[in-house]
Amino acid sequence: MTRKPTTSHDAPSLEDQIYDALRVRGWIIPQTEEDVMRTEVDIEHNPIPLPPELEDPSELLRKLFPVTREVEPEPSHVEERRAQRGEATATQPQSLLECFRARTGWRPSVIASTLEVTPIFLSDLSRYRHVVPVPAQEALADRAAQRLPNVQRTDVVQVFAHASQPRVAAFRRAPYPETEPMTYAEMINHSGMTAEAQHFWHSLAEKEAE
């Protein structure tokens, strides 16, 4: 939207005055450099704290790099058995990224680059842990224990020991649309890792096949 500047020679129309009043009140999102500068000063003086729901961009990263197959709903008899055993379906296992962030206090991108993977690959390893071959689990556990402060090998092993469940963001009424890679190989291919890194993680699947 291009904004025509009003000069002192042009009487502002009633409509423009209303726009300015709503803009100054904050009811219209700042879209010009002048508005942004004024808004930044306001925010600096009266900041509204960021809610926890917007702290972590991992779920958004997943939406930016989606894979296509929809998850099949869990059969009802499985849900019934779970209910009989008294398992809380709302309990979500901690993901690798959550675990590493809690231990290191680092951003996902820093954690991922230290491990020579991408955030989306780390996220997928947690979500689809049941398709991750054991040699890949062990390689990640070794690497994390060696390179990340306060992370033990057993931390990673425990995350892989949990069954994966759909995640629901705290503020959403429904889960994010679930997607699932068909294979571990597809997970690697969607990861955005370098060719060399992809080759390494593929080779671990071949190692298991042997």
Q: Is 200 in the site for another protein (CB under 8 A)?
A: no
90 lines the binding site for another protein (CB under 8 A) = no
Q: What is the DSSP letter of 191?
A: S
Residue of the chain from 68, 89, 109, 203 that contacts another protein (CB under 8 A): 109
Contact 181, 131 (CB under 8 A): yes
- Report the nearest approach of another protein to the CB of residue 134 (Å): 25
In angstroms, the first-to-last Cα distance of the chain is 60
Say whether residue 65 binds another protein (CB under 8 A).
yes
Q: Which residues contact 21 (CB under 8 A, 6 or more apart)?
A: none
CB 179 within 8 A of CB 66: yes
**Distance, CA of 138 to CA of 135 (rounded, Å):** 5
Q: Measuring CA to CA, which residue among 105, 95, 91, 98 is closest to residue 128?
A: 95
CB of 202 to another protein, least distance (A): 16
Name residues contacting another protein, limited to 160-179 (CB under 8 A): 171-173
Q: Tell me if 36 contacts another protein by CB under 8 A.
A: yes
Single out the segment in contact with another protein by CB under 8 A; choices: 32-40, 66-74, 93-101, 129-137. Answer: 32-40
C-beta of 79 vs 105, nearer to another protein? 105
* Min dist. Cβ of residue 101 to another protein (A): 13
Site of tokens 């057993």: 154
Cα 186-107-174 angle, rounded to 5 deg: 60
Among 32, 150, 152, 183, binds another protein (CB under 8 A): 32
Distance of CA 38 to the CA centre of its chain: 32
Question: Which residues of the chain form contacts with another protein (CB under 8 A)?
Answer: 1-6, 11-12, 14-22, 24-33, 35-43, 45-51, 53-54, 57, 60-61, 63-65, 107-110, 112-114, 116, 118-120, 171-173, 191-194, 197
